Structure 1
Amino acid sequence: MRLKLARVMSTHASCLLRQNCYWRIFDRGPSLSRGYCYKNRTNPDVAPSGIHNVQSIRAKWAEHFKYRNVPEAEVSAELIVAHVLGSKTLAGIASWQIVSKSKIDRINELCALRLRRIPVQYVIKEWDFRDLVLEMQPPVLIPRPETEELITHIGNYQTIQDLSPPRRILEIGCGSGAVIISLAKEYPESFCMGLDQCAVACELTRRNAMKHDTALSVKNIEFNDTTVEGEEVFQSKYDMIVSNPPYVPTIDLESLSPEILQYEDVAGALDGGQEGLDVIKSILRNASRILTSDGLLWLEVDSTHPEAIKKLVEDNSHWNMKYIKTCKDFMNKSRFCLLSSNTV
C-alpha cells in the first residue's frame, strides 16, 4: 500500500519523487529553507504580481513551499504548474513561456491547497499508475510506486511458470482500482472482482474502470470471517487473490505525515492492528476457502512481515496455505509475498 508515478512521468517526475522518497509513509519531509523572508509580501500564498513566466512561478512556489515546510517542495510546485498548463511535467515546456493571468490564478488556488498539506494527487485530482491515469479522491489511498511492481511480479511469475491466465481474479481492498484495473488489462479474458469496505473507494474504482474501458465487478464489502461465510461473492472460487491490505502497526500511525493522517483513510486502509497483521491474518485464514486448489495469493506487506507470514502459515497448517516466495521492491526491501492454496 505504498507508493509511484507512471510511464508518462517516469523520465522526470518519477525520478524526482523516488530519489526524494516522497511517498515513504514515514517521511517527515524536508527541513525549512534558510534565509527566506517575506517581509515585503502582503499575501505570501499567491505568486507575486509581475511574475509571468513558467520558471519564475515554479521557483517562487517551490521557495514558498520550503518556507512553509511542505515536503518535496520542488516536485509539488512543478507538478501543479505543469498540471495547470496541461502537461505531466515541465520538461517539454519552455521556462520563459508567459503564463496567462487566469492560469496563474489557478496555480495559486491549487498551491494554496498544497500549503494545507493536501497531497498533490488530491490537489490535481489524478495520478499515474503504470500506463493508467487514474482519478484520485480523498480519502481513498493513493497508489504507491511499489504497488506497480506487484503487477510486474505477477506477470513475471505467470510467464516463468508458464501458467494459463487466471480465469477469476479477486482483489481485497481495491481502493482507486489501480491493481484490479491493471490486472484486467493484462488478462482481458479474466473475470475481475474488486472489494472494498469504503463506499467512496468502490465508486472511484468504478469510475476509473469506466474511464479505461475495463470490465470488472466492484462490491462494497468488508473482508472478514463473517462475510466470507455469508456473502455470495465468496461462494465461487478464484484462481488468484491479490491484496495490499492495511499493514501499519497501530502504534506507528502517529508517526505518519500530515498528508496521510489528515487526508487518507488511515483507519480503513493503513491501520493493521498491534503488529500490522490483523487483516493479513484474516486473509490467510480464509484464502484457501475461496481459492481454487492451485490458486495463488499475492500480498503487498511491510518489509518486516514476510518471515512472520511464513511462520503463521507453517504454524497453522489447517489454513491450507503454502508459502512460495518473497519478492523485493525497488528499494530492495522484502515487500511481496506469494502463497498458494494447499488443498487437495
Structure 2
Amino acid sequence: MVTVAAAVSALTPRFAAAGIDTARLDARLLVAAVAGIRAQDILLRPDLELTVEAEERLAEFARRREGREPVSRILGARGFWTLDLEVGGATLDPRPDTETVIEVVLERRKTPPGRILDLGTGTGAILLALLSEYPQAVGVGTDLMPAAVDLARRNAARCGLGGRAEFLLGSWTDGVTGPFEVVVSNPPYIPAADIPVLEPEVRNHDPLTALVGEDEDGLGCYRILIPKAVAVLAPGGLLVLEVGIGQAPAVTDLMNAAGFEHLQVRADLGGVDRCVSGLLPS
C-alpha cells in the first residue's frame, strides 16, 4: 500500500507535466479526499496508508485531473467564502475572484440589509455568503437554468440557510418583487470570441450559458440587468456587479447613465478590476 505522502509526491510531477500550475495543492486535495482526511492532515500523518479502494479512486481522480477537469468538479464541492458548496454541471465553478463581491458589500453597506437579491445566482454562492454575514437578512436568487435553481436550493439547505433564501426560476428580475437594499450579480460577461483561449478547466467544464456575455463586447447582460436592478432597489440601495478584465470603465458608464452615484471599482487579489458598485440616490 502507498502512503498519503508518497501518493502526493507521485502525482505532483504528473499534474505539473499536464500544465497544471497548482499541481502539488491539487495532488494533496485529491489524496486527502480518498483518504478521508483534511488536506492539512497529510503533513501530520504522512505515513497513513491508502486502502486498495482508495488507491483505485485516486487513480480515476488523477486521470480526470490530468485531463484538466477542475478538482472541485471531481470532488463535487468547492469552498467559497466560509461555506462548503456543492457544484454541478449547470453552473459556474465559484472562484475566489468572486469573493470580491462579498467584500465590497460588507464594506459599502453601512447598515445590515433586510433583503438581498442575487441575479443569475448559479450555485447560490454570493447570496448564501452574504446571508451568512447578515444573520437578520433574507434573500432571493434568480436563474434561468432549472438545474441551477435546484442546486442553489440544495446549497442553502447544506449551509443551514434554507429558511432565509428563496430561489426562483426566471430571467433576471422576472417574478421578483422589491424593494431590496442590496442587489448583486456575476452575469455572463466573456465575449464569445475569447472562449477558445480560456483555460481548459473553464472552457471545457463551465457551461457556456454562464460564461458568454450577450453582444459582441460581452456587456449585453449589464445593459439589461442594470435598469432592472434600478426598478427593484430601495432608495439608497447598493448594486455590486462582477466584471471581466477591462470591462470596469464601460460598466461604470452604464451604471452612471442609470442614475447610480458614488461609483467605485474594486480590484481582486490578482490586481484585476473585478467589481463595480454604486448607490441609488436616497
Q: Report whether the alignment pairs 1:339 with 2:273.
A: no
Verify the 8 A CA contact 1:287 1:341 in the aligned structure 2: no
Instruction: Find out whether 1:83 has 2:33 as its counterpart.
Output: yes
2:49 corresponds, among 95, 98, 112, to: 98
Aligned match of 1:169: 116
Q: Which amino acid aligns with 2:118?
A: E
Output the CA distance in 2 between the equivalents of 1:68 and 1:338.
Answer: 38
State the percentage of identical aligned residues: 27
Matches within 5 A, 1:97-246: 97-158=48-109, 163-214=110-161, 215-223=164-172, 228=173, 231-233=174-176, 235-246=177-188
In structure 1, the partner of 2:195 is 253
Any residues of structure 2 matched to 1:39-78 within 5 Å, and which? 52-70=2-20, 72-78=22-28
Greater Rg, structure 1 or structure 2?
Answer: 1
Determine helix, strand or coil for the equivalent of 1:232.
Answer: coil
Q: Determine the C-alpha separation between the residues in 2 that align with 1:323 and 1:115.
A: 46
Task: Give the deviation of 1:232 after TM superposition.
Answer: 2.9
Query: C-alpha root-mean-square deviation of aligned residues, in Å?
Result: 1.9
| Unaligned ranges ≥5, structure 2 | none
Bigger mean CA deviation after superposition, 65-74 or 95-104: 65-74
> Cα deviation per residue 1:79-129 (whole Å; 9 max; x = unaligned)?
100111223314444323222212111211222222332211010111111
Is 2:225 the counterpart of 1:283?
yes
Cα pair distance change 1:194/1:66, threshold 3 Å: same
Please give the alpha-carbon distance, in whole angstroms, between the structure 2 residues aligned to 1:126 and 1:301: 24
Q: Distance in 2 between matches of 1:83 and 1:125?
A: 11
Alignment TM-score, normalising by the size of structure 2: 0.91
Give secondary structure in 1 for the equivalent of 2:204: helix
SS at match of 1:263: coil
- Structure 1 unmatched ranges of 5 or more: 1-50
**Partner amino acid for 1:271?**
V
Q: What is residue 20 of structure 1 aligned with on the other side?
A: none
Residues 121-161 of structure 1 show CA distances to partners (whole Å, capped at 9, x for unaligned) of 01011111121111121231111112223212211222xxx
The partner residue of 1:312 within 232, 249, 254 is 254
For the 8 Å contact 1:310–1:323, the answer to whether it is kept is no
